[in-house]
Chain A
Amino acid sequence: MSNKVELTKKDLYRCINRYMFTRQSPFNYETMQSGGWVYSIHPAMEKIYGDDPDLLAKKYEDHFKFYNTQPWFGNLILGACIAIESTKEPDATQTAVDMRTALMGPLAGLGDAIIFVMFATVFGAIAAYSALEGSIFGWVIAQTFGTVLWIIFYRLFFTAYKQGVEFVTSRSAQLKRLTDAAAVLGLSVVGALVVTTVKVHFGFSWTIGEVTQNLDDLVNSIIPNFANVLTVILIYFGLDIKKMTSAKMIIIVLVVAIVLSAFGILA
């Protein structure tokens, strides 16, 4: 005997469409993304538990608990969780919330690495360089790719609902491989960007007799773009300093750049 509630395509569309506009709202430091989550699962939950509002209110207490993941991968978690809730088993909500908590960390790491770090860097660089030449072509490439990826993730909500948690877990090995492969691409691009995008030059020069020697030319003849490499390495290790955040680091670099250039150490 099964209590399973069959959700229609329309119910599911209502959930995912709500989620699109509230994935990170109202973002807060207590439970982060759980507010938008509850609002998004409501069309499904209403169908499943609508005859018992008291029970539903109790279930939402659990769903309001801390939740934070990469929004695109959140689509998958949402689909799988609604699938669990639709079984209407007595411990369905407990299972769903536990699974949500178990998945949100790993998928956030994966999602940040692939969606926000890797692709954002590769396509951001292509679009930015094209823009600096006065062309929007690079941005069109980036946006086309982003839109296709966005639609894929939108569709994955339905796949995750149909196949449940197994889908998310069974694909984890494949996703791990994909992350590694994407990391290779990302790291290569970072290496290239250190050369092309970072522009740090020493302003020092000295004259011996007739010859004026520039520090920048000197070090670059040993290692090309030496000042760029040095800057990235210093910041990389600087980020390990206790209580350092990326926002603070940006302010520090901003101030250091202005001061060093005012004294002519950097050009």
Chain B
Amino acid sequence: MFSAMQVILVCLWTWLFTVTGSNVQIFTYASAVLHGMIVGLIMGDMTTGLTVGGTLCLMGLGVGGYGGSSVPDYNLGTIVGTVFAIGTGQGMEAGLAVGVPVAALGTEFDIIAKMCGSFFLHGEMRVAARKEFNKLGIFPHGYNVFRATLYTLPVLLVMTVGSGIITSLLAAMPEWLTKGLNTAAGMLPAVGFAILMKYLPVREYGIFIVFGFACAAYLGLSMVAISLFALIFAFVIYRQLEIKDNAGSVVAAGANGEDYDE
């Protein structure tokens, strides 16, 4: 179903992205969209690629592997989802049906890679103890190659020996499952936003959730417009805190009897 060229290019892209991805991190923002775009181009339909990438990007907003935790990999999901969305001609439906499970499976790949990381670390520690310092690099770079290969293997498998099985599974997919996945696609972003709220100072600034909600629900403003309004509030709050901090340091200096007349 896929041409050899497509298989090679998609695998190569996956490998190249993963070998540097978690370290260089230059493609940090909206990387699922980037994957949809590139894989879409390889498969010959960038618009479908962007649709799959955009949808999975929204699902993954706020979901991040903070503090070494493992979370679904929407990049991997987008790559495989886009391949089947275009390859089967079923579009978004197939993209979701394949992309979401693959993204969820990505959690396991991350855990496997990090478990194998110990092996590489101990190797590096051994050469350091033996004072063979020029060999230190083998292990971090070796880990990068290992991790990239681990992530590329499933892509290679589903595009070659697994493509028939997945295509027939997609064809035989019951309607309730297709409908359910669509519902899930609408529901999953909520997880990201709930996680975000756990990371943000909701106690102090929670009212701004209401601000954003009201702007979107009642005024129907666009995301850029709401960001700009929020930027004004952010600026005012920054200035207020600055004034407060400076006043605090002046008082502290005065209390110590120091000359604060600079």
Contacts and interface: CB of A to CB of B under 8 A. Distances in A.
Interface of A: 18, 20-32, 34-36, 38-39, 42, 46, 53-54, 56-57, 60-61, 64, 68, 71-72, 108, 112-113, 115-117, 119-132, 134-136, 138-139, 142-143, 145-147, 150, 173, 176-178, 180-201, 224-225, 228-229, 231-232, 235-236, 238-239, 245-247, 249-251, 253-254, 256-262, 266-267
Interface of B: 20, 22-30, 32-34, 36-37, 47, 50-51, 53-55, 57-58, 60-64, 66-72, 100, 104, 107, 113-121, 124-125, 128-131, 133, 136-137, 139-144, 147, 176-177, 179-202, 204-206, 208-218, 221, 223-224, 226-227, 229-231, 233-235, 237-238, 241-242, 245
Contacts, number: 398
B217 A60 contact: no
A262 to B, nearest CB: 4
Contacts of A18: 137
The secondary structure that dominates the B interface is: helix
A253 B63 contact: no
Nearest to B51: A132
A45 to B, nearest CB: 9
A8 B209 CA distance: 49
Contacts of A53: 131, 133
Contact of A131 (B57, B120, B212): B57
Nearest to B214: A191
**Smallest CB-CB A-B distances: 9 pairs:** A191-B212, A28-B117, A199-B186, A258-B180, A131-B54, A127-B30, A26-B120, A188-B230, A26-B143
Contact of A57 (B124, B129, B147, B221): B129
Contacts of A238: 194
The secondary structure that dominates the A interface is: helix
A250 B65 CA distance: 13
B212 A189 contact: yes
Contacts of A239: 194-195, 198
